[in-house]
Amino acid sequence: MESIMKRSWIRMVSSGLIGLVFIINIQAGIDFFINPDHFLAAYQIDGVPGKAAISGIGLLFLMWNIPCCC
């Protein structure tokens, strides 16, 4: 009985950590997609093509999390 409770606790902690990473990735994806100007200097790109590239990275973050939801 004790090992079943231990496994249940481990599963809950694991699910919580996966959920935390999911939330952080969604937040990052939305931020990259909506505010690409904040990240242009970090990637050393500028202009409209740079904004499009950063927005694309944000979209990839969001798409990467689709398998987590299903």
How far out from the chain centre does Cα 44 lie? 22
- For residue 36, count other CB atoms closer than 10 A to its CB: 20
The Cα 65–Cα 33 span in angstroms is: 14
| Predicted structure pTM score | 0.74
Asked whether residue 67 is domain-assigned, the answer is: yes
Asked whether residue 5 is domain-assigned, the answer is: no
Asked whether residue 29 is domain-assigned, the answer is: yes
- Per-residue pLDDT of the chain in tens (70 residues, 90 and over written 9): 567 677 788 889 999 998 898 899 899 999 999 999 999 999 899 899 999 999 999 999 888 877 755 5
Residues 6+ apart with CB under 8 A from 29: 58, 59, 60, 61, 62, 64, 65
Count up the domains in the chain and report the number. Answer: 1
Domain of 29?
A: 23-70
Asked whether residue 12 is domain-assigned, the answer is: no
